[in-house]
């Protein structure tokens, strides 16, 4: 017995209406939470940051940033030099640095706070980087703006921000045209000379029985008067003998 198309359609509608209401009320699966923020993966995806990525990994700074971004609410801003920026350095520059200096160089490109592109105009200088002391001669980093241009100076390097690589409200990554060279590593200042010791001026008290070498003006005048008296007595004796 063949069923007409109308019968088949009616059967399908009835089947849908009698389906389990539990199945119909199942909520849609929640989207998987986003993965942890990984700076090196962001830079790898952007391309042209091979040398900087290698330094981030070899110095251990990549692991530090990973922990900061995923275990706290603190923001981070990174100025990432492109591969061409490292190519412009003098040959052997990176190899001449100690392990500690390489860490300081990488940390000098990291600011421990989130800086959006609109904040550059109102930023307070000098910026403190993760390299440490921002005082002159150590790790100062200053940012100024001129129109849409963001200028960065370290006291050794002058460069500009050439573009935004990544921003999510906690992490901001900007590309810079040159490697930021800190003064502490590439232009160390000689230590300030120690202040000269102060010599206390002692006042000698004049006491009775001072040494005969004490040639005070009063003593000299008295000696002259005594010499004059002796000369006068001698002269009187000479004249008396002559008259006798």
* pLDDT at residue 87, as a whole number: 94
* pLDDT at residue 35, as a whole number: 72
Find the mean pLDDT for residues 232-244: 50
Burial 157-183 (b: 16+ CB within 10 A, else e): bebebeeebbeeeebbbbbbbbbbbbb
Parallel, antiparallel, or unpaired for β 76-81 and 110-111? antiparallel
> What span, in angstroms and rounded, lies between the C-alpha atoms of 139 and 79?
15
Residue 116, pLDDT > 90, answer yes
* pLDDT at residue 74, as a whole number: 83
Pick the more confident residue, 213 or 129.
129
* pLDDT at residue 2, as a whole number: 52
Pick the more confident residue, 73 or 214.
73
CA atoms within 13 A on the CB side of 112: 12
Residue 78, pLDDT > 60, answer yes
Residue 23, pLDDT > 50, answer no
* pLDDT at residue 45, as a whole number: 95
Per-residue model confidence as pLDDT tens digits over 147-158: 999 999 998 999
Residue 232, pLDDT > 70, answer no
* pLDDT at residue 73, as a whole number: 83
Please name which of 129, 94, 107 lies closest in space to residue 63, comparing C-alpha atoms: 107
Per-residue model confidence as pLDDT tens digits over 176-186: 999 999 988 88
Pick the more confident residue, 205 or 141.
141
Per-residue model confidence as pLDDT tens digits over 34-55: 678 899 999 999 999 999 999 9
Q: For the chain, give the mean pLDDT.
A: 77
């Amino acid at each position: 017995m063949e069923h007409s198309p109308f019968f088949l359609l009616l059967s399908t509608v009835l089947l849908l209406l009698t389906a389990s209401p539990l199945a119909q009320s199942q909520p849609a699966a929640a989207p998987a939470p986003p993965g942890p923020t990984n700076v090196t993966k962001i830079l790898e995806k952007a391309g042209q940051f091979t040398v900087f990525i290698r330094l981030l990994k070899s110095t251990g700074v990549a692991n530090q940033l990973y922990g900061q971004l995923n275990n706290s609410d603190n923001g981070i801003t990174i100025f990432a030099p492109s591969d061409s920026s490292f190519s412009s350095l003098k040959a052997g520059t990176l190899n001449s640095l100690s392990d500690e200096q390489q860490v300081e160089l990488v940390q000098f490109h990291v600011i421990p706070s989130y800086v959006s592109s609109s904040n550059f105009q109102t930023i307070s200088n000098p910026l403190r980087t993760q390299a440490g002391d921002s005082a002159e001669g150590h790790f100062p980093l200053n940012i100024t703006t001129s129109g849409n241009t963001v200028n960065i100076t370290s006291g050794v390097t002058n460069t500009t921000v050439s573009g935004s690589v990544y921003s999510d409200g906690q992490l901001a990554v900007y590309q810079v045209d040159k490697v930021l060279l800190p003064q502490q590593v590439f232009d160390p200042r000689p230590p300030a000379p120690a202040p000269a010791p102060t010599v206390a001026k002692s006042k000698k008290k004049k006491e009775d029985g001072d040494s005969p070498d004490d040639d005070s003006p009063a003593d000299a005048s008295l000696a002259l008067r005594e010499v004059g008296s002796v000369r006068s007595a001698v002269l009187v004796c000479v004249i008396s003998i002559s008259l006798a």
